Amino acid sequence: MEMLGELVVSLLIVAGGGFTLVGSIGLVKLPDLVTRLHAPTKATTAGVGGVLLASMLYALLRGELSAHELLITLFLFLTAPVTAHFLAKAYLHRHADRVQGLPPVCSEHRWTAFDEAAAEGPDSSREETPPASPRV
């Protein structure tokens, strides 16, 4: 039974390392921020999660209970999507020319998407556009 546990721990470490390697290569090789953002948020998060899961399983096999890895995993899975969202929103605000082909905003509050009129300021000479009707 101990041999099987060590084998599972080893496979989780190798799989986690593989995911982390793919995410790191994607971070270096992909052309712009939006595509580069996908690599570390998906692959690297899965890689670190696999290594932390292997560490938790190893501690459990030794008869110990380690909550450190569980807290690190929870923190990682909560903060990585939020960080990626903020980076993507900042990119959209800095590169307004790239948002022209995006679908219309589906909220009357308009805080979920880039709004050119709001970016130009309240004294903009543009007329207000009515909010888009929600999709069904």
Mean pLDDT throughout 108-121? Answer: 55
| Pair 9, 61: CB distance under 8 Å | yes
pLDDT for 14 equals 96
How many other C-beta atoms can be found within 10 angstroms of the C-beta atom of residue 68? 11
pLDDT for 112 equals 56
- Identify which of 55, 57, 19, 71 has the alpha carbon closest to the alpha carbon of residue 40: 19
- Measure the CA–CA gap between 92 and 64, rounded to whole angstroms: 47
* 49-106: pLDDT as tens digits: 899 999 999 999 998 888 888 899 889 888 888 888 888 888 877 877 766 666 666 6
How many other C-beta atoms can be found within 10 angstroms of the C-beta atom of residue 3? 7
